[in-house]
A and B are shown apart, each in its own frame.
Chain A
Amino acid sequence: MALKEFKLPDVGEGVAEGELVTWHVAPGDEVTEDQVLAEVETDKALVDVPSPFNGTVKELLAEEGDVVPVGDVIITIQEDGDDEEAAEAADAAGSESAESDDADDADGASDDESSSGGRVFAPPSVRRLARELGVDLDAVDGSGPSGRVTEGDVRAAADDDGDEDESSGPRTVQTNGKSATAKRDEGTSASTSASASAPAESADRKQTLAAPATRALAKEEGVDIDAVPATEMRDGEAFVSPEAVQEYAQAQREAQAADAEAVAAEADAGTATAEATGEATSESAPPESGPGAGERVPYKGVRKAIGDQMQRSKYTAPHVTHHDEVDVTELVELREQLKPVAEERGSRLTYMPFVMKAVIAALKDFPYLNSQLDEENEEIVLRDEYNIGVAAATDAGLLVPVVHDADRKGMLELADEMNEKVEKARNRKIAPEEMRGGTFTITNVGGIGGEYATPIINYPEVAILALGAIKEKPRVVDGEVVPRNVLTLSLSFDHRVVDGAQGARFTNRVKELLEDPKLLVLE
């Protein structure tokens, strides 16, 4: 009959937080085990969160639109009494993750504690409470005698964190968050304008007073502690608090992100065909100053996941893009012939399956284009699978569903699977695992317009092929200018792994197969 807390579970591998999109229950509702409580949007997908208990909803602890870190309690449920055993069993199963979450939360808090190396002036009961609420005691200013940390201080610190999590609009607040992730996200959504503010300027001292934990934090954040602006002077020396380090590191990151954005904005135009509408505002026009300078669109969820991924790719892999044109007149004819046949079999045949077939054949000849760089072990992994991602424009942004083992699938199978997954992606019903494991990505940028693109590699893959539109263009055939169907190809590849010549040869191979699609029969 206990009141059970339910924490946002880890809804996808490595997902740190999710946006609570819709509540399907309200306080007072009876819920049964496995009943969907809420819909949560994570980095990449919309996920249903089922109830682990039978019972009655007591309280909803997050509002629609809130971004909730994994492990935060989102709902409390009064467990059913008459079905105690079953409920307990369910609870045992359900709370397993909750328990380990607990432990992990607590780990975070106390690791900080132990790294401080000094005394914590707070009674044992308060220290336990801090662990329970995930509050880092070192970062709490005590209001007790001589700065002793009281129960009230810890609760206040925990509430502060909670408040920040709840507000979804533009935020510029910066305090000790529950987790590094939460902090970073806040900072990012607080817009790039912060990079222009004071903390970014380095102080450049020779000596700095700081607690060991603060020094460790600085090291972790990769900032020079002597460069962090001093919080106060102690005994004539500059003293730096952990918050100041966080703030400075944040400002540095934002400055970098701003640079990255400028670069990515150009490059992105190629890959993200869906970028047409409102999103451009958040991308290309960061507000110049404080609140009020323009509409502020939250940078979070899928938008942020795309941004992070693009930034990582562009900053990790040195991109080279190779462009070419293919005369696909024969392919166009072939497809026209096969289209009704496919339709009879219930499939919609686009050009994409042909391109996939050609790409797979070329990848087999040039395995380095289907590889991955394992930097840690200094090895290039030549993948033995051919999992082809197909970039899809959706309302939420660019998603890349993956057709696994594409080399073992027939033309129509490829067509069906791809169509189905792209559809799911557009409806945001695609599961995270359906977007994982890609080894090479194809993106069709021709739909909207333009000739060539410079697509960003879907890291850690090493290459991506962008297709332009098929257009009739004048071509010279046997000494005469005739109209032909021409497709443009733009192949971006990671120059650490693939050299220009190889990239060109790979493209030639794809070209050869698309120019003379009969050859695909041999593949």
Chain B
Amino acid sequence: MVVGDIATGTELLVIGAGPGGYVAAIRAAQNGIDTTLVEKDAYGGTCLNYGCIPSKALITGANLAHEAGHAEEMGIHADPVVDMSQLRDWKSGVVDQLTGGVEKLCKANGVNLVEGTARFKDENAVRIAHGGEGQGSETIEFEHCIIATGSRVIQIPGFDFGDEPVWSSRDALEADTVPERLVVVGGGYIGMELSTTFAKLGADVTVVEMLDDILPGYESDVARVVRKRAEELGIDMHFGEGASGWREEDDGIMVTTETEDGEENEYRADKVLVAVGRSPVTDTMDIESAGLEADDRGFLSVDDRRRTDVEHIYAVGDVVEDTPMLAHVASKEGIVAAEHVAGEPVAFDSQAVPAAVFTDPEIGTVGMTEADAEEAGFSPVVGQMPFRASGRALTTNHADGFVRVVADEESGFVLGAQIVGPEASELIAELAFAIEMGATLEDVASTIHTHPTLAEAVMEAAENALGQAIHTLNR
């Protein structure tokens, strides 16, 4: 049966139900806007289905198994066996619970949900092609639109995700067995998170990175803590090499790499995971028909209300140029766009964006590094607290890493922080809050922090910057 092309109207059309889109849709509906949310695949987008959430589930499983098997010094002797397919099912259960929750929340808030792929007809209408043959299509006219189509993994020449031994991050999270030997192309945060996870699950992991260190973009003393731990976990890291191809062997596959000087190396593996980054999805919906143009990398430029050049069309999340591809950035942008549609005086004016890497140990960063602060014209002062001096860190048996706070010396305003160590992803939130509030070092240092907790290290780092630390030697 062919369903005719019936045009319906909506005040706000949101394309994509990831952390940018669904949050925008719910907030808009809360503000009394008639909102329609279009999703072609799964509620929650990459984050909930193929990214943040499933990877964190796997990481938790891997950590548990690994720690249980490596606690002899605490008198715990165990040799856990991981049933990978069972771990995967548990992970899928978590994902289903969350995505189901998103769908329910959308409905409960009165968001109209539409399944299908949107293409712009003009700047006030899209055509939605419903999935599956003969499902027909419909036209939706809108007053405002928020593009929240996210990103997809980048594929590199010689490695086709269609080939069974070649994994994208999404494939890796769906694995029901642990490969004996895994080559990971790319030492960025996704590559390192998955390398660590599979190493802990028992794989023999080799990381091939084109640059000369893992975690590009992070300060070298931060990356060093993670690299040292990765070495302890038996991860073999090769720098200055780019993966050039792979071939079938009798026993698995052979991944070939090339150095800048043209020197070739080969690594035996069972799977090769390519994690070299993500690119925005702006090429599937005929944005030209709406009068929009993406830049040469596919990003859309927006103003601080997240409006594109076509004022009633907004863009949020991974499709937006110049903001990091992070779920929480997408959500914030979605809220700004939705509230602006509702006439609220909002702007994306966040002073700092926190980011977390779930390696071992974790990394949490927010705001400026010392070098950033100098470049921005501040006279930065830095305070640091190693976790070795934290009672709580020692009792968790994870005492690698440190908390570093960067502030303006004259005013004391907190400008940034870098944490590498246990629960860094959680600890960074306090410092993000401090920065947004315009708090000073003294404000952080004078706030009583619970003992014994890891969070005390944040207070100590602030005290250290003031030259008043108790548990470390002041600078």
Which residues does A use to contact B, with CB under 8 Å?
95, 98-99, 102-103, 105-107, 110-111, 113-114, 117-124, 127-128, 131-132, 144-149
Contacts and interface: CB of A to CB of B under 8 A. Distances in A.
Interface stretch (B120-128, B281-289, B432-440): B432-440
Interface string B344-388: 111101110000000000000000000000001100000000000
Contact of B436 (A95, A107, A124, A131): A124
Interface string B406-423: 000011110100000000
Contact of A118 (B305, B377, B438): B377
B347 A110 contact: yes
B419 to A, nearest CB: 20
Given A103-B305, A103-B340, A127 B349 contact: yes
Nearest to B344: A102
B343 interface: yes
Contacts of B304: 110-111, 113-114
A106 B438 contact: no
A132 B440 contact: no
Q: Which 5 interchain pairs have the tightest Cβ spacing?
A: A146-B411, A99-B343, A121-B438, A131-B345, A148-B438
Given A103-B305, A124-B436, A146-B412, A118 B376 contact: yes
Contacts of A110: 304, 347, 349
Given A98-B343, A146-B410, 9 more contacts: A105-B345, A106-B346, A114-B304, A114-B349, A119-B413, A119-B415, A122-B438, A123-B437, A148-B413
B417 to A, nearest CB: 14
A512 B345 CA distance: 64
Contacts of A120: 349, 351, 438
Interface size class of B (residues with CB under 8 A): 20 to 34
B443 interface: yes
8 contacts: A99-B343, A105-B345, A106-B305, A114-B304, A119-B376, A123-B436, A145-B412, A145-B442
A98 B437 CA distance: 30
Contacts of B345: 102-103, 105-106, 128, 131-132
B406 to A, nearest CB: 12
A121 B351 CA distance: 9
Interface centre among A118, A121, A122 (most CB of B within 10 A): A121
A106 B436 contact: no
Contacts, number: 68
B351 A146 contact: no
Contacts of B376: 117-119
A237 to B, nearest CB: 13
B436 to A, nearest CB: 5
A145 B444 CA distance: 13
A415 B351 CA distance: 66
B338 to A, nearest CB: 14
A131 B346 contact: yes
A382 to B, nearest CB: 34
Interface in B12-29: none
A127 B351 CA distance: 11
Interface string B309-346: 00000000000000000000000000000001001111
B349 A113 contact: yes
A106 B347 contact: yes
Nearest to A146: B411
A203 to B, nearest CB: 22
Nearest to B343: A99
A148 B413 CA distance: 9
B351 A119 contact: yes
B438 A123 contact: yes
Contacts of A114: 304, 349
Contacts of B436: 123-124
A178 to B, nearest CB: 14
